[in-house]
A and B are shown apart, each in its own frame.
Chain A
Amino acid sequence: MITAQHISKTYKVSKRDAGFSSAFKALFRKEYEYIHALNDVSFTILDGEMVGYIGPNGAGKSSTIKILSGILTPDAGTCRINGLIPWKNRIEHVKNIGVVFGQRTQLWWDVPVLDSFELLKEIYRINTRTYRQNLEQLCHMLNLSELLKTPVRQLSLGQRMRCELAASLLHDPAILFLDEPTIGLDAVSKLAVRDFILKLNKEKHTTVILTTHDMQDIEALTSRIILIGKGKILLDGSIHDIKKGQESTEEALAAFYRSHDI
C-alpha cells in the first residue's frame, strides 16, 4: 500500500534575462525563483490498483514519481510504501519496485539485451529458477525472443521499450512506476505495451502507477485517475468525472485544465 501525506517539494530555479549584459550581471548576482513543484499532495493507493497520474507539463508528475521511487527527497510530508519511507530506506525500498522512464534507458547500449538482463539478475539477487521463469514469461508476453541477442543500439524505440518493460519486471516487483511509457511509440507498439500492462496487473496483481499525456492510455488502462495541476491534486476519481458525458476525452481534459487555470 502506498500512502503519501502532505508531500511538498520546492525547486530553486535560476533566472536571468536573455542577452550578454544580463549574463554578465548574473556572474555577480544570481537571481533565483522558487517553484512549488508539489504543494501538500496526499493520496492512498491500494495493492493491485492501476492508477493514472495525469496533469499538464510541469504539474509535478515526474517529481511525484521520483519521490515515490526514492530518488528525490521532499521538503515536507511523509510517505510510506509497504511500510518503508522511500528516500530513507532507498536500497530496501527499490528492491520491491520496478520503474520505467519512457525518456531514458536502463539497458547497456553496446551489448546485447540479455547481458543487461543478466546484470539485473545479479543486482536484484534473483534466483536462477525465478529468473528463467520470469524471463520466459516476459519473452512470451512481450514477444522478445528475437530481440534478446541484439545489441541495444540496434533496436527500434518500440522494441527497446518492450525490453525496458521486461527489464523492470524481472525481479517481480510489487509496484511498477511507468513514466510516459508510450511516448514516441507507433500504434502497434502502443497497443502491445497497453495489452501487456493490463495482463500483468491481472495475472500478477502488480500495482501500476502510470503517468502519461496519452488519454487513450488512461482510458484503456486505469479505472482511477489522480489529476495534478500546479503541484496540487485537483481530482481523484475516474475518467468519467472529467468527461461528464462529452465525447472526446482530450477536449474534456483540455477544458478541465482551462477551467482550473493550469
Chain B
Amino acid sequence: MKKYLAFFRLRFSMGLQYRTAALAGIITQFAWAIMEILMFRAFYQADASSFPMTFQAACSYVWMQQAFLALFMAWMMENEIFDSIVNGNIAYELCRPVNVYHMWFARSLANRFSKAVLRCLPILLAAAFIPAPYGLMLPESPGAFFLFLFTLFMGTGVTVAFCMLVYMISFFTLSPQGIRMVSVSVVEFLSGATIPLPFFPDQVRSILELLPFASMQNVPLRIYSGDLCGTAAWQAAGLQLFWLFALFSLGRIIDALAMKKITVQGG
C-alpha cells in the first residue's frame, strides 16, 4: 500500500507544478460555464416548467461540474501511460516489484486530484459571489454536503477505474487511439457531461442511471444541487460502490491476461 501511496505523492506533486496549464484551464472553464448557463437561461425563459431541475439547480450543477472537471472528464487520460505501452517503456515498470494496475490506478487518481486542487478553488469562490440564480448555491443541508463529498470521491474512483479499462485494453491493440476516442465520446454523452441526465427522456434516463457512466459525475453533482436526495441519493451512492468494485475487478482480470501475453518489442 505504501508504495502506491508514494506513486500518488510523486504524481500529485508533479501535477502541482503545471501552473500555466491550470490558469488556462480555469479561464476555459469559466468561459464554458458562462456559455452553458446562458444556453440554459434561454431554454428556461421559453418555458421553465417543462424542465426537470430548477434553473438555479442547473446553474449549480454547471459550476460544480466545471470546478471539478479534472476529476470526471474521461478525456483526461494520461498520455504517458499510453506512451509507455506503445513505445515499450513499460519494460521498466515491469522490472519493479509492483502491480501495474494498482500503480497506474494510484497515479491516475493523483493526476486528477492534483489538477482539481489547483483549479477548483478560484472557480468555486467566484461562482459563490455571482448573484442567484446564476451563481453557485449552498447545499441544502450538512448531511447532503457530506454525501456529496463521499460520492465525489466514489465518482472519481469509478471514472479512474473506467479509464484503467481503456489502458488495459491498449495492451492488446496496435494503437490506443481508436478505443480511446470511442470510450471518451460514450462517457461524455452518457455520464451527464454534455447535458445532465435528468434532461433525458424518462425511459432513456431510467436505463442510463443504472449504467456505470451515471456513477461518475451525475451522482455527486445532482446531490449537491438538491436534485437527488433522500433514499434515491443513498441508492445512487450504493450503485457507485457496486460499479467501482465491478470495474476494478474487470480491470484486474484484463491486467492479469495482459501480463501473461505481453511482449515488449524492439531492442
Q: Which residues of A contact B (CB under 8 A)?
A: 11, 57-58, 61-62, 66, 69-73, 90-92, 94-95, 97, 99, 101, 103-106, 108, 110-111, 115-116, 118-119, 121-125, 179-180
- Among B10, B92, B261, B264, the residue within 8 A (CB) of A115 is B10
Task: Say how far A7's CB is from chain B's closest CB, in angstroms.
Answer: 15
Given A61-B267, A101-B92, A104-B92, verify A95-B10 contact (CB < 8 Å).
Answer: no
Task: Say how far B5's CB is from chain A's closest CB, in angstroms.
Answer: 8
- When distances are taken between beta carbons in the complex, the residues of chain B under 8 Å from A11 are 263
Closest to A61 in B: B267
Those of B1-54 within 8 Å (CB) of chain A:
2-3, 5-7, 10, 13-14, 17
21 A–B pairs (Cβ distance < 8 Å), ordered by A: A58-B267, A61-B267, A62-B266, A71-B95, A90-B94, A90-B259, A91-B99, A92-B97, A95-B97, A101-B92, A105-B92, A111-B14, A111-B17, A115-B10, A116-B10, A119-B6, A119-B10, A122-B3, A123-B3, A124-B96, A124-B97
CA of A90 to CA of B266, assembled, Å: 21
Contact B14 A108 (CB under 8 A): yes
Contact B7 A119 (CB under 8 A): yes
Contact B17 A94 (CB under 8 A): no
- When distances are taken between beta carbons in the complex, the residues of chain A under 8 Å from B2 are 122, 125
Those of B136-165 within 8 Å (CB) of chain A:
none
Closest to B96 in A: A123
B262 in contact (CB, < 8 A) = yes
Task: Say how far A119's CB is from chain B's closest CB, in angstroms.
Answer: 5
Those of B87-145 within 8 Å (CB) of chain A:
88-89, 91-92, 94-99
Q: Which residues of B contact A (CB under 8 A)?
A: 2-3, 5-7, 10, 13-14, 17, 88-89, 91-92, 94-99, 259-264, 266-267
Contact A123 B97 (CB under 8 A): yes
Contact A62 B267 (CB under 8 A): yes
- Among A61, A73, A118, the residue within 8 A (CB) of B6 is A118
- When distances are taken between beta carbons in the complex, the residues of chain B under 8 Å from A116 are 10
CA of A161 to CA of B14, assembled, Å: 22
- Of the candidates A91, A92, A179, the one having the most CB atoms from chain B within 10 angstroms of its own CB is A91
CA of A105 to CA of B89, assembled, Å: 7
Contact B92 A106 (CB under 8 A): yes
Contact B92 A103 (CB under 8 A): no
- When distances are taken between beta carbons in the complex, the residues of chain B under 8 Å from A91 are 97-99
Given A108-B14, A110-B14, A111-B10, verify A123-B263 contact (CB < 8 Å).
Answer: no
CA of A123 to CA of B94, assembled, Å: 12
Task: Say how far B110's CB is from chain A's closest CB, in angstroms.
Answer: 12
Contact A94 B10 (CB under 8 A): no
- Of the candidates A62, A73, A104, A105, the one having the most CB atoms from chain B within 10 angstroms of its own CB is A104
- Among B6, B14, B97, B260, the residue within 8 A (CB) of A94 is B97
CA of A118 to CA of B10, assembled, Å: 9
CA of A123 to CA of B92, assembled, Å: 13
Closest to B103 in A: A123
CA of A72 to CA of B10, assembled, Å: 28
- When distances are taken between beta carbons in the complex, the residues of chain A under 8 Å from B91 are 66, 71, 101, 104
Closest to A167 in B: B92
CA of A105 to CA of B95, assembled, Å: 12
Closest to B6 in A: A122
Contact A123 B89 (CB under 8 A): no
